[in-house]
């Protein structure tokens, strides 16, 4: 397993451990208090646990060796599982919470023992904060100083992106649920609890849509991150064997990378020397970027030569 995959796996296990404990506590509190917002949060945490199991399955399947049917391996299977996570987050987490809030609005019931719900939510914030800390620590290792928003837009690590998005949504959801329970206690109006459930659901659906949009771009086929793309081009052009890069295509394949280069080569004394020069450039690329599993090089003339 590569360092990137190992980092993503650690972040997923942080999240799975935290959300497992949170889900149990929230379900118990929802039954004990009758809070719709708390039940919505419990369903959210259960969906998160399922999501993290999906991501672990994706990482495991991505390690399968290439075969005749999949000559470039299974690296992009992680994008499928990330899309499954986004779909589950939308329907099981978001839509269910909205429906639960509507049901409580139609049949409002007073909360019993709301302090229990508030205590569970407070502990949940600490556990979710621990999970988010683990994800952000892994992100800082690979972000090259980019802000979180910029990294989220440019990253090709779908599993780490999903974990971070889930954790942030969870913390905002907990804040909404806490406020809903608090306002229900202060005003005595259970409609606040119902509104909190709807708000949590809408939040989860919005996050699911954002994650889906990013994963869709990966499934469609994205190049390497812009900074990596630029660095690869600069590396090739700095090689003495190359006069200029005519065209460069990179394609992210899970955690692996495909590079296709069309370049004008420096004059070589023979065809054997030209092949040797190309091999040396390819070897230097794979030494600098070990994730570049495939490198295809085409010597050509630049337009007008």
CATH code of residue 147? 1.20.1510.10
Number of folded domains that form the chain: 2
Q: Is 72 within 8 Å of 198 (Cβ atoms)? A: no
3-state SS class at 240: coil
**214 and 230 within one domain:** no
CA-nearest of 155, 167, 191 to 35 is 191
pTM comes to 0.73
**137 and 45 within one domain:** yes
Which residue has tokens 């900074």?
A: 227
**164 and 123 within one domain:** yes
> Rounded to an integer, what distance in angstroms lies between the CA atom of residue 150 and that of residue 193?
35
Tell me how far the alpha carbon of residue 128 is from its chain's centroid: 16
**176 and 253 within one domain:** no
Q: Is 296 within 8 Å of 261 (Cβ atoms)? A: yes
pLDDT, tens digit only, all 305 positions of the chain: 555 666 678 888 888 888 888 888 888 888 887 777 677 778 878 877 888 898 888 888 888 888 888 888 888 888 888 888 888 888 877 888 888 888 878 887 776 777 787 888 888 888 888 888 888 888 888 787 888 888 887 777 777 888 888 888 888 888 888 888 888 888 888 888 888 889 988 988 888 888 888 888 888 878 888 888 999 999 999 999 999 999 999 988 877 889 999 999 999 999 999 999 999 999 999 999 998 888 999 998 877 66
Decide if 304 is inside a domain.
no
**231 and 216 within one domain:** no
**205 and 233 within one domain:** no
DSSP secondary structure letters along 245-286: EEEEEEEEETTEEEEEEEEEEPP-SSHHHHHHHHHHHHHHHH
User: Looking at 220, 239, 258, which one is the last position of a domain?
Assistant: 220
**121 and 45 within one domain:** yes
Decide if 23 is inside a domain.
yes
**197 and 117 within one domain:** yes
Q: Is 49 within 8 Å of 13 (Cβ atoms)? A: no
């Amino acid at each position: 397993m590569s360092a990137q995959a190992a980092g993503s796996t650690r972040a997923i296990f942080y999240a799975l451990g935290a959300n497992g404990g949170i889900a149990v506590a929230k379900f118990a509190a929802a039954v004990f208090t009758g809070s719709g917002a708390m039940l919505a949060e419990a369903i959210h945490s259960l969906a998160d646990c399922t999501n993290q199991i999906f991501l672990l399955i994706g990482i495991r399947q991505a390690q399968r060796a290439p075969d005749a049917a999949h000559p470039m391996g299974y690296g992009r299977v992680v994008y499928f599982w990330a899309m499954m996570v986004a779909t589950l987050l939308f329907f099981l987490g978001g839509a269910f919470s909205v429906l639960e809030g509507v049901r409580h609005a139609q049949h409002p019931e007073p909360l019993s023992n709301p302090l229990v719900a508030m205590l569970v939510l407070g502990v949940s914030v600490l556990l979710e904060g621990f999970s988010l800390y683990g994800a952000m620590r892994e992100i800082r290792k690979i972000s090259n100083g980019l802000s979180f928003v910029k990294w989220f837009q440019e990253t090709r690590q779908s599993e780490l992106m999903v974990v971070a998005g889930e954790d942030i949504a969870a913390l905002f959801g907990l804040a909404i649920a806490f406020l809903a329970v608090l306002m229900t206690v202060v005003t005595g109006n259970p409609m606040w609890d119902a509104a909190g459930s709807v708000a949590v659901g809408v939040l989860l659906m919005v996050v699911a849509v954002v994650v889906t949009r990013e994963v869709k771009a990966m499934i469609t086929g994205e190049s390497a991150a812009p900074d990596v793309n630029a660095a690869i081009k600069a590396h090739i052009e700095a090689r003495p064997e190359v006069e200029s890069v005519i065209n460069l295509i990179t394609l992210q394949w899970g955690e692996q990378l495909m590079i296709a280069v069309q370049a004008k080569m420096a004059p070589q004394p023979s065809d054997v020397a030209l092949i040797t020069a190309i091999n040396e450039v390819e070897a230097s690329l794979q030494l600098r970027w070990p994730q570049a599993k495939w490198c295809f090089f085409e010597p050509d003339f630049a337009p007008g030569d």
